[in-house]
Structure 1
């Protein structure tokens, strides 16, 4: 099978041939149909995450089909459509896991594409706990980004405390923000999009924004206050100037 791997920290991506992996006990093999590209994949390339073992195959926005299951796996069957995201596994027993804080597992926190090879490949293996069921009517290319960017923005909105009818502003209309606008609109929020320049306004409105603020032309905080402020601001850009 073909994989795109990083041979070493700060090494260049390279396409190589590997044997198709066999799933160990508790793991599942997935035939990859699509894998999104996330900026976090650069963490693998640049060696910015401690403990990465190279060569490593990045990719944590995966949609595919279960191809084989290891012993002890009962919840997944061959032929099922599944997705795999950033969260690659947890122990299920530590204090944080018992509180439902799986991303903060204290014993066996795994990250897809960092702790084990990810979806830049024809096939990959992952812990059964890392898989999510995917409906047949969701295309692989459309579904792949939902495994990371989609989950990130959806959970931010879901846990924000905003209610239908509240004003929600989405700062940045990029990989995360364009999904955040759609989620916010579909969840019944009065959605305001904030981005640099006028060129993103047509897209933002098409995705469900009822107002658009050009942060290059006007002060976004002042303009947002003119509209009555917002219950929640979802910041999808790591830019201090834009966020303040």
Structure 2
């Protein structure tokens, strides 16, 4: 087997079980880094790409974009990294580095040749993976490698708006939906020092959510309880992909507050201009984050010893892990341990 051969698990067609798959990655390009995969998180976005839900998949699909591993090869143009160093790779594998967003530090909004790690590119359900060196993020030595992977997608997704909206410890933040994203948001906001309200449809989780760091838990299906939140929140993070009573959540914002969308709700949001104008409120959204914000997140997580709650499966049991996630049984992120 050539040293450019990568062993992986791939979806050959939408809806099919993943199968062992080998391919020749060719010579490493000058700006790229090759990483030996140790762990890789399993995310709902992986399922969407495997099943071509977004109509952008290129088969065979090698998914996996919450990757932790060690560098085994550096391209001649790679900077600031070394062979043997433990690193992470998230949703983005490449960006052009010359468009205006890239030059201004917003590489996640690259308008040039941006490449997602799992769309037309082989991801981390493999023994090795490649990415542009700027998207290969050093892992602090005191950050747990087994649970760190989900920080590179779910973690950065909820961390970026905390930075973007200049959230401080004096602020009250609501989190809608306490799953893979929401539980990391609560842990981050607790470490940040904020007052936190969790909006959940399952009040049986109340004790667990408070143990994670939530100060208050509100039933997201109880209209009276929602209306009682009027004017309280500086920021509300929505991680759900279903439509809710958005006007009620807008009324829950304090003056100059923001409802920030992270979940991909397919129906248009019903928002009146008056609801925004009266209190100087805003509705915003974002995807993941830039390499510099990813580095900030990992350093902060290491300092606070913050870790997502994970369940670990051998990568050879990837189809069982996918079924576990698809069935809604994950608490709260699934991580695959490479065992090739």
**TM-score normalized by structure 2?**
0.66
Q: Is residue 50–residue 57 contact of structure 2 (8 Å, CA) maintained in 1?
A: no
- In the alignment, which residue of structure 2 is the partner of 1:43? 48
2:192 aligned with 1:187: yes
Q: Is residue 79–residue 133 contact of structure 2 (8 Å, CA) maintained in 1?
A: no
Q: How many residues align?
A: 242
- In the alignment, which residue of structure 2 is the partner of 1:241? 244
Stretch moving more, 229-238 or 99-108: 99-108
**TM-score normalized by structure 1?**
0.90
Q: CA deviation at 1:221?
A: 2.5
Q: Is residue 49–residue 56 contact of structure 2 (8 Å, CA) maintained in 1?
A: no
Stretch moving more, 198-207 or 11-20: 11-20
- Taking the aligned partners of 1:128 and 1:93, their CA distance within structure 2 comes to 15
Q: Is residue 173–residue 200 contact of structure 1 (8 Å, CA) maintained in 2?
A: no
- Taking the aligned partners of 2:56 and 2:239, their CA distance within structure 1 comes to 27
- In the alignment, which residue of structure 1 is the partner of 2:36? 31
- The alignment's C-alpha RMSD in Å is 2.1
- In the alignment, which residue of structure 2 is the partner of 1:158? 163
Runs of 5+ in structure 2 lacking a partner?
1-5, 249-340
Rate the CA distance shift 1:195–1:15 in 2: closer, same or farther, 3 A: same
Rate the CA distance shift 1:193–1:56 in 2: closer, same or farther, 3 A: same
Q: SS state of the match for residue 173, structure 1?
A: coil
1:169-226 per-residue CA deviation (whole Å, 9 max, x = no partner) reads 111110000010111111121111110122211121111111111224554521322x
- Taking the aligned partners of 2:84 and 2:127, their CA distance within structure 1 comes to 16
Choose the corresponding residue for 1:131, options 128, 136, 141: 136
User: Which structure has greater helix proportion?
Assistant: 2
Q: SS state of the match for residue 244, structure 2?
A: helix
Q: How does 1:1-244 map to 2 (within 5 A)?
A: 2-18=7-23, 23-49=28-54, 52-217=57-222, 219-225=224-230, 229-241=232-244, 243=246
